[in-house]
Structure 1
Amino acid sequence: MEVFVEPQEGSPFCIRIGCSDTVLEIKAKIEKHRGIPVYRQTLVFDNETLDDELDVEGCNILDGSRVWLIVAPEPPQSAKIELCVGTLPSVMRLPIEVQVNDPVKRLREVVRSLEDVSLERVKLYADGTELEDGRRICDYELQDNSSVDVRIKPPKFMVMVLPWKADLKVAVEVKQLDKVKVLRKELEKLQPSLELDLPSEGYFFIHNQSGMDEDKSFQWHGVEMGDTIEVFRGTISR
């Protein structure tokens, strides 16, 4: 469908959108069409400001609808603010100075270095909303002394699997509380690309020289991060 965008200044223009597009995706299309950064855009339809996470259908936008575009002034490049950053559930906060035009990823990188964890494990939230890498600090209207919550995702739990008649181990990501049968599904996913030898007549898993009950968890079996699990041909009699 096509909608007409009415900016405060300048002539209206038309963009093509899909029914499942979010407001944020519409803003991205406007940025591509007119070069107006997403973080400076506010869209209004039917006298309501549209939230980024809403989709076209949820906003009741129809083919030929008119959407108003409000463009915020570009903040000065040198504008700085101090954010109060802390790791949940601790109430302690650390002041971190950022520029309002800094991307969220830059703040995540600072937190990552302080927490000494991988970047992918660091998630930032303000007022319950996750701060996304593709946006800037100013997109979230953060001001001096605004609070930013840090959540550190638990590390990936990896086990090393030694397939049947193989010399090389394969690293497989699972959860420690997963049942062992999850490992069977993960190996089947990897089989086409890694050409794993998974005996067609059946196989079972061995950890620390003991057969594993696939209806029990890795934790129940005492499996730790990086432990080796071997694949053996045959079945276990109960």
Structure 2
Amino acid sequence: MDVFFEPQEGTAFCIQIGLHDSILEIKEKIEKHQGIPVYRQTLVFNDEALDDELDVEGCNIVNCSHIRLVVAPEPPPSTKIELRIGTPPSKMRLPIEVEVNDPVKRLREVVRSLEEVPLERVMLCANGTELEDDRRICDFKLQDNSSVDVHIKPLKFMVMVLPWKANLKVAVEVKPSDKVEVLRKELKTLQPSLKFDLPSEGYFFIHNQSGMDEDKSFIWHGVELGDTIEVFRGTISR
């Protein structure tokens, strides 16, 4: 399908995209055709900024849609720093020199070549925060000799969910990058066949005795293969 992109300055242009293209893949096509780096792009459709992991179908983008392209200013001159890259639980850290204004994706590509795994399975974290592809290294306040942890995501893994006042555990397959909120959808699907109760007045999830933020990913919460997540009645007040 053909979609039109309207930058703040300059002439609108058209790019052919697929129904299942992700927003990140669209940005990469814009970079290829217009020379605008991915990390400087924000796509706005129906007055909402589009997240990179969404796809065309999920955003209700159709043939001849018009999408606003917001281009961030060119970053200041680059500066090099040396990061210490490590894959837990190893205590060894490999020094890698980077430009602070480079996009995170470029650092992931370097790490991928060292780990010899697909790029989509490499996740970088620093100070407990995931480093996102479309942002620059300097956005995360990384300095010379800052530590960056490498996590290799499994394709999918099973977690065990313990429903409210139940004697059974429900096996649910999730992706490490999934937000915890996907558990609600999965439990609702499994509830009729497994006949377990979910508190009608509301419930939240507990992992390792801590309430879970459903807007965060499983890997952010430190959830691993086979871990148990409990359902508790009520809500979490923050």
Normalising by structure 2, what TM-score?
A: 0.47
Rg (Cα) greater in structure: 1
TM-score by length of 1: 0.47
